[in-house]
Amino acid sequence: MRTDPRFPRLHIVEHPLIEHKISLMRDRNTGTQDFRTLLHEIALLMGYEVTRDFPTHLVEIDTPIEKMKAPFLVEKAPVILPVLRAGLGMTDGLLALLPAARVGHIGLARDENMNPIEYMVRIPEAPKSNHIVVDPMLATGHSAAYAVQLLKDRGIPESQIRFMALVAAPEGLEVFFKQHPNVEVYLAALDDRLNDHGYICPGLGDAGDRIFGTLKE
């Protein structure tokens, strides 16, 4: 994992498979079906690092040979919170690793000034659990910061929240960490900048449109 001196809580998950798959996703000629599959695969690979510090405890079991104290996850049902709609594209990858996880939904749209507005929010009540908020694109940082604030408003401390994205822009990370300095953020790539329309450059375009096939022909 790589860090960045500007953002102490940022972790960039480095792996040749992830790099290869994200390059395929960036290519405008990659269609919806492949895009969706690649996003699922990257979420699964990233999940390995996002959960690296999840604690385990020892439980006595019988192997076919003898008794042993074996490590098991202390928490089997963390909360996964996709930011709709693009976050849905990363949810199944995480669920493949954490099949007992609970899933909430954070539906945010943007108004004409790019500020987030809620249209559907369902957050499982799990005050002691780890919460993983997922959205492939951390662009302006406003939706990401808003989603995490919803959890903090429900009493979840920053130490129990982590944010997982595919790609981010530095401008968005500035906004995010100003509001939530102790939330760990996991990315597959940190890109160069935002353009005037709030898109990440070089980025991969509109992730929601590419996942759900709603791009204009």
Contact residues for ligand URA, defined by CB under 6 A: 86, 137, 139, 198-200, 203, 206-208
**Minimum gap (Å) between residue 146 Cβ and ligand URA:** 14
**Minimum gap (Å) between residue 215 Cβ and ligand URA:** 11
**Minimum gap (Å) between residue 72 Cβ and ligand URA:** 37
Nearer to ligand URA, 12 or 207 (CB): 207
Residues 6 or more apart in contact with residue 173 via CB below 8 angstroms: 6, 7, 10, 138, 141, 185, 190
**Minimum gap (Å) between residue 129 Cβ and ligand URA:** 28
Angle of the 32-50 helix axis to the 16-26 helix axis, nearest 10 = 150
State how far the alpha carbon of 53 is from the alpha carbons of 50, 139, 160, in Å: 8, 26, 12
Nearer to ligand URA, 171 or 206 (CB): 206
Nearer to ligand URA, 101 or 134 (CB): 134
**Minimum gap (Å) between residue 109 Cβ and ligand URA:** 12
Q: Distance between CA atoms of 147 and 160, rounded to whole angstroms? A: 14
Nearer to ligand URA, 98 or 190 (CB): 190
Which position's Cβ is nearest ligand URA? 139
Nearer to ligand URA, 78 or 87 (CB): 87
Residues 6 or more apart in contact with residue 135 via CB below 8 angstroms: 82, 83, 86, 87, 90, 143, 144, 147, 163, 165
